[in-house]
Chains A and B, each alone.
Chain A
Amino acid sequence: MESLAAIAARSLAISAAATLLAATWSLPLAYAAATRPRLRLAAALAEGLVGVPTVLVGLLLYFLLSRRGPLGFLGLLYTPAAVILGEAVLVTPLLVAVSYQVLAAAVSRYAELALALGAGGGEALALALREAAPELLAAVVMAFSRAVGELGVALLVGGNIEGYTRTMTTAIALYVSMGEFEEAAELGLALVGVMVLVALAVRAARRLAEDG
């Protein structure tokens, strides 16, 4: 099998891309829900779907991307792009749910006060985002953790292709299916180590940004 380092790098890159992609639509959606009472239902739905089975998301995406499916012409099945797309969909509920809570609090605490003091709508938004940034970052780290630790999406739409779409989780699943439990556990611990390192690194970066 290819080296652990290569697989780990690929997992990190894919899940980071997925998380950032999900953030581009999740944060605006969360903000909209925080400021428009009628959209609060979306946040409630998101909360419920945080734990959606990864294999289900993988299956739905497979139906879309398969040759016979509506998006089959894109030829995305069994490519890293498909895994990025799938994981982005997977972590969207988590990002929306947590960001909503954070932004709703920030809006009520800061934005409304700012508006009352005469600030414009855009200024109020910028203020709320700035104050909520550390917590939003935490939401992003959580979403990344879910993305990098998921199996169902990567397996179903990625295909666990060596040198191309094999991630740490699909490699672990493969080791288990071969009866090599010890190797699987080692790889699993390495994955957990990576998750923790990422969280700590983000925290350290935040500290530096605050102090700088």
Chain B
Amino acid sequence: MSRPAAYVAAALLLAAGLVLATQLAGTRGTIRVQATTTTSLYATGLLDELARAFQAKHPGVRIEFIPVGSGEALRRAADGEACMVFVHAPSLEKRYLEAGVLGGHRFIAYNFFAVVGPRSDPAGVREAGSAVDAFRRIYAAGEKGEARFVSRGDRSGTNVREMALWRLAGLDPRGKKWYIVSGQGMAKTLVMADELGAYTLSDTGTFLKLSLDGRIPGLALLYTNSSDLMNVYSVYLVKGCRGEEAKYARMFADFVAGPEGQRIIAGYGADRYGRPLFYPAAGHEEMLREAWSRLAEG
């Protein structure tokens, strides 16, 4: 090739090499602990805050979160791609526990799912006496052509709870014209519900965040805080994990479930949303264990 072209090529190669070198240098010596988690939990920012606090005490350790769907988070952890997993899908968790790939189960937090829908609330969910009652009202309104419901249809923690509630209500909405099965994440599902003026089940974190950002002006939080809407967050350690990463994964799990982590969790979001997004698990292990067992059957 001609001389100027050769110079340009050499310069590009050198630049690429420098970039690569700086990237590698940045991570050398750092212990990277990888944790898979669900997008809804990650999106609240709680995990990053916990990681920051932990990393301040342990410089040289970096917690890296991989946010994906619940099923994927558990699967990837089980495949050995991460040393720990933060999830809230008891029925899926149970399967992996029984398969023997996960251990070290600790409860870290809980909150409640919420039935959200159009402000006009044609189904009268605001007056419901329970989540099951709310679903019955939505079903009735749907059959009358007055309401629609968007389901995530992706076996996420939220979707699993939604299906359990339909079952408890003795109803099967699948195939109904007013029942829309969108295979999407929580944020996209909320946006779709807002667009279509439909009801849906959501975790409070994603709903509050989107609401505050003005992305879902047509949706209101209509019903929450009942025991059948409890959302239990857990952390697990991956059994096949070894070495430094395993050690610090355990330490981070202990940190999150311990007094410092629980304090951060208890206060998280209060300044931004006016209310904390999570209740700490500390002191409620008995209640959570019972709730978890019940949910794991669903």
Footprint of B on A, CB under 8 Å?
66-67, 77-78, 155-156, 159-163, 166, 170-171, 173-174, 176-181
Contacts and interface: CB of A to CB of B under 8 A. Distances in A.
Given A160-B183, A166-B183, A179 B72 contact: yes
B72 A177 contact: yes
Contacts, number: 60
The 7 closest A-B pairs by CB, nearest first: A179-B75, A177-B69, A179-B71, A174-B183, A178-B71, A162-B181, A160-B183
Contacts of B192: 78, 159
Contacts of A67: 194-195, 218
Interface residues of B, number: 25
Interface in B42-88: 68-76
17 contacts: A67-B194, A78-B192, A78-B196, A155-B184, A155-B188, A159-B184, A159-B188, A161-B181, A174-B154, A174-B183, A177-B69, A177-B71, A177-B154, A178-B72, A179-B69, A180-B71, A181-B75
Chain A interface helix/strand/loop/mixed: loop
Contact of A162 (B153, B155, B218): B153
Given A176-B72, A179-B69, A162 B196 contact: no
A162 B71 CA distance: 19
A162 B192 CA distance: 14
Interface of B: 68-76, 153-156, 180-185, 188, 192, 194-196, 218
A147 B188 CA distance: 22
A179 B71 CA distance: 5
Nearest to B192: A159
B68 A177 contact: yes
A87 B70 CA distance: 30
Q: Which residue of B74, B156, B184 has the most chain A CB atoms within 10 A of its CB atom?
A: B184
Contacts of B73: 179
B188 to A, nearest CB: 7
A173 B182 CA distance: 12
B236 to A, nearest CB: 14
Contacts of B196: 78
Contacts of B154: 174, 177-178
B169 to A, nearest CB: 21
Given A78-B182, A177-B72, A179-B74, 10 more contacts: A66-B195, A77-B195, A155-B188, A159-B188, A162-B182, A174-B153, A174-B154, A178-B154, A179-B70, A181-B75
A178 B155 CA distance: 7
Contacts of B155: 178
A41 to B, nearest CB: 25
A60 to B, nearest CB: 15
B195 A179 contact: no
Given A66-B195, A177-B69, A159 B75 contact: no
A70 to B, nearest CB: 15
